Chain A
Amino acid sequence: MASFWFWIVAAMIATYVVLDGFDLGAGAIYLMAAKNNGERRQVLRAIGPVWDGNEVWLIAAGGTLYFAFPQLYASSFSGFYLPLMIVLWLLMLRAVGIEFRAHIDSPVWQDFFDVVFSVSSILLAVFFGAALGNVVRGVPLDATGYFFEPLWTNFKLSSGVGILDWYTVLIGAMALVTLTAHGSYYVALKTDGDLGRRARGFALVCWPLQFFLTFSSLLATYFIRPDIVTNYREHKIGMLVPIVVVSSLAVMLWANPKGKEKLAFVASSLYIAFMLVGAAFALYPVVLPARDHQYDLTIYNSAASSHGLGVGLVWWTFSAALAVAYFVFVYRKFRGKVQVGEGHY
Chain B
Amino acid sequence: MESALLIHRLHFAFTATFHYLFPQLTMGLALLIVVLKTIGLRRNDPLYHQAARFWAKIFGINFVLGVVTGIPMEFQFGTNWSIFSRFAGGVIGQTLAMEGMFAFFLESAFLGLFLYGEKRLSPKTHWLSAVAVFVGSWLSGYFIIATDAFMQHPVGYVTAADGSLQLASFWHFVLNPWAGWQYAHNMGGAAITGAFIMTSVGAFYLLSGKWTAHARIFVKAGVIAGCLFSILQIFPTGDRQGKMVTDLQPVTLAAMEGLFQGQTEAPLLIVGQPNEQQGKIDNPIAIPGVLSMLTYRRWNANVRGLDAFPKQDWPDNVPLLYYSYHIMVGLGTFFVAIMVVALLLLWRDRLFHAKWMLWILMLAAPFPYIANTAGWMTAELGRQPWLVYGLMRTEDGYSKLVSAGNSMFTLLGFMGIYVVLGILGLFLLWREIEHGPVDGHESASNLYSATLYSATEAR
Contact = CB atoms under 8 A, between A and B. Distances in A.
Co-assembled chains A and B: yes
B402 A78 contact: yes
Nearest to A148: B401
Contacts of B90: 70, 304-305, 308
Contact of A146 (B102, B400, B410): B400
Interface string B352-376: 0000000000000000000000000
B83 interface: yes
Interface stretch (B41-49, B189-197, B207-215, B444-452): B444-452
Q: Which of the four size classes fits the interface of chain A?
A: 35 or more
Contact of B445 (A53, A88, A89, A345): A345
A344 B443 CA distance: 9
Nearest to B441: A344
Contacts of A49: 112, 448, 451-452, 455
A283 B64 CA distance: 37
Given A63-B96, A104-B445, A304-B166, A323 B101 contact: yes
Given A96-B424, A343-B450, A52 B111 contact: yes
A84 interface: yes
Nearest to A71: B86
A92 B67 CA distance: 9
A146 B96 contact: no
Contact of A59 (B64, B100, B166, B458): B100
B68 A63 contact: no
Given A104-B445, A304-B166, A322 B105 contact: yes
Contact of A326 (B105, B400, B431, B445): B105
B78 A52 contact: no
Contacts of B72: 85, 88, 92
Contacts of B68: 91-92, 95-96
Contacts of B61: 103
A45 interface: yes
B176 to A, nearest CB: 15
Interface stretch (A154-162, A226-234, A309-317): A309-317
B69 to A, nearest CB: 7
Instruction: Name the residue in B91, B168, B442, B445 with the highest tally of chain A Cβ atoms < 10 Å from its Cβ.
Output: B445
B447 A333 contact: no
B100 A60 contact: yes
A68 interface: yes
A95 B402 contact: no
Given A81-B406, A89-B413, A95-B68, A62 B451 contact: no
Given A49-B452, A70-B89, A70-B93, A147 B401 contact: yes
B80 A78 contact: yes
Contacts of A218: none
B85 A73 contact: yes
Contact of A100 (B75, B80, B428, B450): B428
B109 interface: yes
A46 B445 CA distance: 15
Contacts of A77: 75, 77-79, 82, 85
A307 B166 contact: yes
A259 B258 CA distance: 74
A316 B101 contact: yes
A75 interface: yes
User: SS class of chain A's interface: helix, strand, loop or mixed?
Assistant: helix
A85 B61 CA distance: 24
B452 A66 contact: no
A345 B446 contact: yes
Contact of A53 (B105, B170, B399, B452): B105
A312 B97 contact: yes
A257 interface: no
Given A53-B109, A66-B93, A308 B167 contact: yes
Contacts of A84: 75, 79
A79 B428 CA distance: 38
B78 A76 contact: yes
A308 B94 contact: yes
B82 A146 contact: yes
Given A68-B93, A96-B64, A334-B455, A304 B85 contact: no
Interface string B101-113: 1101110111111
Nearest to B68: A92
Nearest to A88: B72
A66 B97 contact: yes
A275 interface: no
Interface in A35-83: 41, 44-46, 48-49, 52-53, 55-56, 59-60, 62-64, 66-68, 70-71, 73-79, 81-82
A212 interface: no
Nearest to B452: A49
Nearest to B421: A96
Contacts of B79: 77-78, 81, 84-85
A307 B170 CA distance: 9
Contact of A85 (B83, B167, B413): B413
Nearest to B170: A311
A60 B97 contact: yes
A307 B68 CA distance: 34
Nearest to B455: A334
A320 B167 contact: no
Nearest to A308: B167
B348 interface: no
Instruction: Name the residue in B80, B101, B164, B445 with the highest tally of chain A Cβ atoms < 10 Å from its Cβ.
Output: B101
B83 A74 contact: yes
B94 A45 contact: no
B93 A304 contact: yes
B442 A344 contact: yes
B441 to A, nearest CB: 9
A334 B445 CA distance: 19
A326 B101 contact: no
A163 to B, nearest CB: 13
B458 A82 contact: no
Given A70-B86, A308-B91, A103 B431 contact: yes
Interface of B: 61, 64, 67-69, 71-72, 74-75, 77-80, 82-83, 85-86, 88-91, 93-94, 96-102, 104-106, 108-113, 117, 160, 164, 166-168, 170, 399-403, 406, 409-410, 413-414, 417, 421, 424, 428, 431, 442-455, 457-459
5 contacts: A53-B105, A63-B100, A67-B96, A338-B455, A345-B447
The 5 closest A-B pairs by CB, nearest first: A70-B89, A77-B78, A343-B450, A67-B93, A326-B109
Given A70-B93, A92-B417, 17 more contacts: A53-B105, A67-B89, A70-B86, A77-B85, A100-B424, A102-B450, A103-B431, A103-B443, A105-B444, A148-B401, A319-B101, A323-B101, A330-B112, A333-B455, A335-B459, A338-B455, A344-B453
